Structure 1
C-alpha cells in the first residue's frame, strides 16, 4: 500500500513529464525572446550562440548524461502506473538493433520510461546495449528542450542521425523508433490496438542498410492512460487533424485524463503499462536493399509483432478476442 507521501511524489513526477512534453519547448522559446528585451539580454544571446555552434550535435549521437537517465524521479514516474519492461529473448551486444516501438499513444510514456531512462534497468536486462530513442527531428531545434531530451538519450528520427549511430565502429547500438509516429497517436483510443504500419517501411530499409537486427516492441496499456476524442475517418474533424499533422508534424489530439480538483485534467490515468521486447529478426547487410528485400523483412516483422501480441495480450489484460489491426 502506497503512503500518501509516495502518491504525491508520483503525481509530481508524472506532471513533470506531461508539462515538459507539452509546454517546455514553448516556454523556453518565449522566455529567450522575452529576455532579449530586458537587462538579461546577454543570457539569450549567449544561448543562441551556443545553439548555433551546437546545431549538429543531435545528428551526431547527441549528448546523453547517465545521471539524468538515472534520476530518481523516473522511478516514481514508473511506479505511478506502474510501467514494466518484459524481456523475451537475449539481444547480444555484438551487433546493432532497430527496435520498432508500438503503439505511439499520446505521450509514449512506456517507451520513454523504458528506453530513455534506467528506471526499469534496461542496461541490466540488456547488458552492452546503448538505447537511443528517436524523436521528431523538429524537437531538436527547440531551445533548451533539445538539450533536455538529448540528455535522456534521444536523437532525431532522421536518416543522417540514424545512419551515424548505426555506421560507427561501436556495436550494441539499439535505435528505438516509434514507427507509427504522430499519425498513430490519432488511433490512441482506449481498447483499440490499431497500428500505422502497412506503409511504414523506412525502418526496415534502415536495418537492411546497416545489417541491424529488427526487434518488435509493444507497450500494452499505452492507449489506456488518456481518453481521446476520436473522429471517424472521412469526417471534417479527422481531415482537419490530418492536415494539421502534415503541416506541422504534430497530430492535434483532443485528449484528457484525470484532474486533481476537477473530473478532467492532464494527469494520466494510473493504468499499468507493460512494454514487451520481442525476439530479434536477423537482417542481412544490404547497403542498397531492393524493394523485394524490404517487403520481405517488413512482412516478417509484422508477423513477429502480431505473434508477440497474441502471446502476451491476455497476461497484460487484453481480451482474447482482441487482435492487432494495421493501417
Structure 2
C-alpha cells in the first residue's frame, strides 16, 4: 500500500509533467517577451542570442544529461500509473534501430517514461543502446522548453535530425518514433486500438536508408489515461481539428482526466501502462530504397506489430475480442 505522502508526491510529479507538456513553451515565450519591457531586458536578449547560436543543436543529436534522465521525480511519475517496460528480445548494440512506437495517445506517457527517462532502466535492460525519443520539430523552437526536451534525450523527428543520429560511427543508436503522430492522437479513445499506419512509410524508408533494424513497440493502456471527445469523420469538429493539424502540426484534442478538486481536470487517470518492445526486423542497407522494398518491409512491420499486439493484449488487460485497426 502506498502512503498518503507517496501518493501526493506521485500526483505532483505527474501534474508537473502535464503542465510542462501543455504550457511550458508558451509560458517562457511570454516571460521572455515581458522581460524585454523591464529592467531585466538583457536576460531576454542574452537568451535570444544563445538561441540563435544554438539553433541547430537539436538536429545534431541534442544535448542530453543523464542526471536529468535519472531524476527521482521520474520514478514517482512511473509509479503513479504505474508504467512498465517489457523486453521480449535482445537488441544487440552492434547495429542501429528504429523503434516505431504506438499508440501516440494524448501525451505519449509510456514512450516518454521508458525512452526519455531511466525510471524503468532502459539502459539496464538494453545495454549498449542509446535511446532518442523524437518529437515535433516545432517544439524545439520554443524557448527553455527545447532545453528541457533535449536534456531528456529528445530530438526533432525531422529528416535531418534522424539522418544525423543514424549515420554516425557510433552504433547502438535507438531512434524512437511515434509513427502515428498528431493524426493518431485523434484516435486516442479509451477502449480503442486504432493506429495511423497504412500510409505511414517514412520510418521504413529511414530504416532502409541506414540499414537500421525495425522494432515494433506498443504501449498498452496509453489511450486509457484520458477521456477524449471523439468526432466522426466528416463532422465539422473533426474537419476543424484536421485543418488545425495541417496548419500548425498538431491536433487540438478535447480531453480530460481527474481533477484535484473537481470531478474532472488535467490529471491523467492512474491506469497501468505496459510498453512492450518487440523483436527486431532486420533491414538491408539501401541508400536509395525502391518503393517495392519500402512496401515489403512496411507490410512485414504491420504483420509484426499486429502479432505482438495479439500475443500480449490479454496479459495487459485488453479483451481477447479486441483487435488492432489500421487506418
Q: Same fold (TM over 0.5)?
A: yes
How high is the TM-score relative to the length of structure 1? Answer: 1.00
Aligned mates of 1:78, 1:221 — CA distance in 2: 13
Specify the SS of the correspondent of 2:28. Answer: helix
The offset of 1:325, in angstroms, is 0.3
Aligned mates of 1:156, 1:225 — CA distance in 2: 25
Aligned to 2:274: 274
Aligned mates of 2:39, 2:65 — CA distance in 1: 32
What does 1:7-46 align with in structure 2 at a 5 Å threshold?
7-46=7-46
Aligned mates of 2:56, 2:111 — CA distance in 1: 25
The offset of 1:276, in angstroms, is 0.1
Aligned to 1:210: 210
Q: Which runs of 5+ in 1 are unaligned?
A: none
Aligned mates of 1:40, 1:6 — CA distance in 2: 39
Aligned to 1:131: 131
Aligned mates of 1:173, 1:138 — CA distance in 2: 23
Aligned to 1:201: 201
Specify the SS of the correspondent of 1:153. Answer: coil
Q: What per-residue deviation string (whole Å, max 9, x for no partner) do you get for residues 129-184 of structure 1?
A: 00000100000111000000000000000110000000000000000000000000
How high is the TM-score relative to the length of structure 2? Answer: 1.00
Q: What per-residue deviation string (whole Å, max 9, x for no partner) do you get for residues 188-240 of structure 1?
A: 00000000000000000000000000000000000000000000111111000
Specify the SS of the correspondent of 2:192. Answer: coil
Would you say 1:191 and 2:191 are equivalent positions?
yes
Aligned mates of 2:140, 2:69 — CA distance in 1: 18
Structure 1 runs (4+) greater than 4 angstroms displaced: none
Would you say 1:248 and 2:210 are equivalent positions?
no
What does 1:43-122 align with in structure 2 at a 5 Å threshold?
43-122=43-122
What does 1:141-152 align with in structure 2 at a 5 Å threshold?
141-152=141-152
Specify the SS of the correspondent of 1:268. Answer: coil
Specify the SS of the correspondent of 1:283. Answer: coil
Q: Which runs of 5+ in 2 are unaligned?
A: none
The offset of 1:260, in angstroms, is 1.2
Aligned mates of 1:240, 1:160 — CA distance in 2: 30
What is the RMSD computed on CA atoms of the aligned residues? 0.3
The offset of 1:250, in angstroms, is 1.2
Aligned to 2:4: 4
Aligned to 1:180: 180
